[in-house]
């Protein structure tokens, strides 16, 4: 019995020691997890770290917005701006500024003016960043009273930061607010290009080209220094002024050894004037290689690609050229034509269907004929019948002939598109009867003697007097 009691006591003692050890372990764990109060320096570092994370997030968001705008993804940029939390991501003025820029790129100038002509955007801290876009939109919309007021404020606040005293914009606004003839007369009247600094000279040369007033400054070109003429930028501008003035010899002397996109376009124009279309095509392609979005090169390459049967390249040029939203129908028409000629019938059909969906009125007869042609190539009876009958009722002879042909012969569309020979013999009946010489006179039986006819006629009308 004593032994049992002894064993029981030992068991109870072991349990107590184990419990005490577990409690000690829990206390140590709690001690390790205890958060000590932060000191003032640590609190400042934590706050700065949190603020840096927020700032980084803002920068990343603005970076995404800017990248979308640069890549032409304007709808994506709008979504990013509108879904941003203004209090956390960026201010409302920043949101409006970027939205106004997007609308400006979309030629939605009414919306630009609406966004930027509010008290918060006309604030002195915001005005320098938006006043130029605001003024340009007002200029385009011809809102003269408001333009005059906003441009005055814009000049006052931005002039100090402009390296050329905002000369270009000032000329455009003067042309809108004042008599254009007086503006142009005074603009170059007292301007001696040989006395201008480089920045002023660059602006005057470009203005002369833009306003087609090159004859006002060309007389003083011989006085320009060697330093100016050896500069590639100024040589190009001077050469383009000579070209616009139809002085091709001097223009060629200045531009011949330049390899800029504008210089290559000039050389291409020179070949065009000489009707050397293949060489002109090569020069314009070279200009496009130097500047891949050169509208001058693309606008000349498209008709040349058609004339030289370069239909695949023509499609690429049309896709690269930037069209206004109002010109989408022209773009789709060109794409359909080039795709048809390059035998990409499915692409042509897609462009034509889009063209039909967007047309506000009935398409020209040439487009209708192209739609029917695509139907013939694809052997689409429904499209042929719909287009053919509709356009025949509109008095288009080709569609009427096609419908007559289709309803008159068995399997006519198969015969049009098939390469097999319809007739077994090789001889062309047209050639046989139109080109072969007849060596023997035609022999035909005499059914009625002409003399008998004359005697009969004489009995009726007394052809021979008694």
pLDDT, tens digit, 9 for 90 and up, residues 369-389 = 888 888 888 888 888 888 888
Structure tokens at 460: 């009726």
Of 173, 195, 169, nearest to 183 by C-alpha is 173
Locus of tokens 């605001």: 134
Residues 6 or more apart whose Cβ sits within 8 Å of residue 335: 315, 318, 319, 347, 348, 351
pLDDT given at position 26: 42
Of 303, 299, 261, nearest to 283 by C-alpha is 261
Quickly count: other Cβ atoms within 10 Å of residue 49's Cβ. Answer: 9
247 domain residue, yes or no: yes
**Considering the entire predicted model, what is its pTM?**
0.60
pLDDT given at position 284: 93
What's the rounded Cα separation, in Å, for the pair 376 and 55? 62
Of 405, 393, 363, 368, nearest to 383 by C-alpha is 368
Containing domain of residue 211, as a range?
Answer: 179-256
Q: Identify the band that residue 36 occupies on the pLDDT scale cut at 50, 70 and 90.
A: very low
Number of folded domains in the chain? 2
Task: Summarize pLDDT for 318-372 with one digit per residue, the tens.
Answer: 999 988 878 888 899 999 999 999 989 899 888 888 888 877 566 788 888 888 8
Of 239, 259, 236, 234, nearest to 250 by C-alpha is 239
Contact 256, 268 (CB under 8 A): no
Q: Quick one: average pLDDT of 2-28?
A: 46
- Tell me which of 399, 417, 435 is where a domain ends: 417
What's the rounded Cα separation, in Å, for the pair 451 and 446? 12
* Same domain, residue pair 330 and 412: yes
Of 313 and 34, the one with more pLDDT = 313
Q: Rounded to the nearest 5°, which phi and psi values hold at 318? A: -65, -40
Quickly count: other Cβ atoms within 10 Å of residue 143's Cβ. Answer: 18
Per-residue pLDDT at 150 exceeds 80: yes
Q: Identify the band that residue 280 occupies on the pLDDT scale cut at 50, 70 and 90.
A: very high
- Tell me which of 197, 228, 256 is where a domain ends: 256
Q: Identify the band that residue 164 occupies on the pLDDT scale cut at 50, 70 and 90.
A: low
* Same domain, residue pair 252 and 327: no
Per-residue pLDDT at 10 exceeds 80: no
Contact 298, 321 (CB under 8 A): yes
Question: Taking the CA of residue 415 as centre, how many other CA atoms within 13 Å lie in the half-sphere pointing to its CB?
Answer: 11
Q: Identify the band that residue 41 occupies on the pLDDT scale cut at 50, 70 and 90.
A: very low
Q: Quick one: average pLDDT of 211-219?
A: 88
pLDDT given at position 384: 86
343 domain residue, yes or no: yes
Alpha helices by DSSP H, listed for 106-225, are 109-116, 127-141, 144-158, 167-177, 180-189, 198-211
* Same domain, residue pair 251 and 329: no
pLDDT given at position 306: 93
Q: What is the DSSP string of 137-165?
A: HHHHHT-HHHHHHHHHHHHHHHGGG-TTT
C-alpha radius of gyration, the chain, whole number: 42
Q: Identify the band that residue 34 occupies on the pLDDT scale cut at 50, 70 and 90.
A: very low
What's the rounded Cα separation, in Å, for the pair 134 and 141? 11
- Tell me which of 222, 256, 290 is where a domain ends: 256
Calculate the alpha carbon distances from 379 to 341, 390, 413 in Å: 18, 18, 7
For the ranges 49-58, 111-120, 290-299, which has the lowest average pLDDT? Answer: 49-58
233 domain residue, yes or no: yes
Dihedral (CA of 297, 298, 301, 303) sign: negative
* Same domain, residue pair 405 and 330: yes
453 domain residue, yes or no: no
| Whole-number percent of the chain with pLDDT over 90 | 14
Residue 244: in which H helix or E strand, if any? helix 232-244
pLDDT given at position 29: 46
What's the rounded Cα separation, in Å, for the pair 294 and 283? 13
298 domain residue, yes or no: no
408 domain residue, yes or no: yes
Average pLDDT score, the chain: 79
219 domain residue, yes or no: yes
200 domain residue, yes or no: yes
């Amino acid at each position: 019995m004593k032994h049992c009691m002894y064993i029981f006591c030992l068991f109870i003692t072991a349990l107590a020691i184990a419990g005490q050890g577990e409690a000690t372990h829990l206390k140590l764990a709690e001690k390790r997890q205890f958060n000590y109060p932060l000191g003032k320096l640590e609190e400042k570092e934590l706050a700065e770290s949190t603020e840096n994370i927020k700032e980084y997030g803002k920068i990343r968001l603005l970076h995404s917005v800017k990248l979308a705008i640069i890549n032409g993804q304007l709808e994506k940029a709008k979504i990013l701006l509108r879904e941003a939390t203004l209090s956390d991501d960026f201010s409302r003025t920043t949101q409006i500024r970027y939205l106004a820029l997007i609308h400006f790129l979309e030629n939605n100038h009414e919306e630009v003016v609406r966004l930027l002509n509010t008290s918060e955007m006309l604030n002195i801290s915001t005005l320098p960043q938006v006043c130029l876009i605001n003024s340009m939109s007002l200029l385009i919309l011809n809102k003269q009273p408001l333009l005059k007021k906003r441009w005055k404020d814009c000049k006052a606040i931005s002039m100090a930061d402009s390296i050329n005293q905002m000369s270009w914009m000032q000329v455009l606004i003067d042309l809108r607010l004042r008599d254009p003839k007086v503006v142009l007369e005074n603009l170059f009247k007292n301007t001696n290009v040989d006395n201008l600094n480089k920045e002023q000279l660059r602006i005057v040369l470009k203005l002369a080209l833009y306003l087609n007033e090159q004859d006002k400054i060309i007389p003083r070109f011989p006085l320009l220094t060697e330093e100016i003429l050896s500069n590639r930028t100024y040589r190009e501008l001077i050469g383009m002024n000579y070209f616009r003035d139809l002085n091709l010899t001097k223009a060629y002397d200045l531009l011949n050894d330049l390899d800029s996109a504008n210089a290559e376009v000039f050389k291409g124009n020179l070949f065009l004037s000489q009707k050397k279309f293949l060489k002109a095509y090569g020069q314009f392609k070279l200009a496009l290689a130097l500047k891949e979005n050169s509208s001058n090169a693309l606008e000349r390459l498209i008709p040349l690609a058609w004339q030289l049967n370069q239909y695949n390249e023509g499609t690429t040029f049309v896709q690269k050229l930037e069209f206004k939203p109002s010109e989408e129908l022209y773009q789709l028409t060109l794409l359909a034509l080039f795709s048809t000629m390059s035998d990409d019938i499915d692409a042509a059909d897609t462009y034509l269907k889009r063209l039909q969906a967007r047309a506000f009125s009935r398409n020209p007869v040439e487009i209708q004929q192209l739609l029917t042609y695509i139907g013939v190539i694809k052997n689409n009876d429904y499209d042929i019948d719909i287009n053919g009958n509709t356009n025949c009722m509109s008095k288009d002879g080709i569609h009427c002939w096609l419908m007559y042909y289709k309803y008159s012969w068995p399997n006519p569309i198969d015969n049009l598109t098939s390469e097999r020979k319809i007739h077994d013999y090789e001889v062309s009946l047209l050639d046989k009867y139109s080109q072969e010489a007849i060596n023997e006179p035609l022999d035909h039986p005499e059914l009625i003697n002409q003399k008998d006819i004359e005697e009969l006629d004489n009995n009726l009308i007394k052809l021979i007097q008694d």
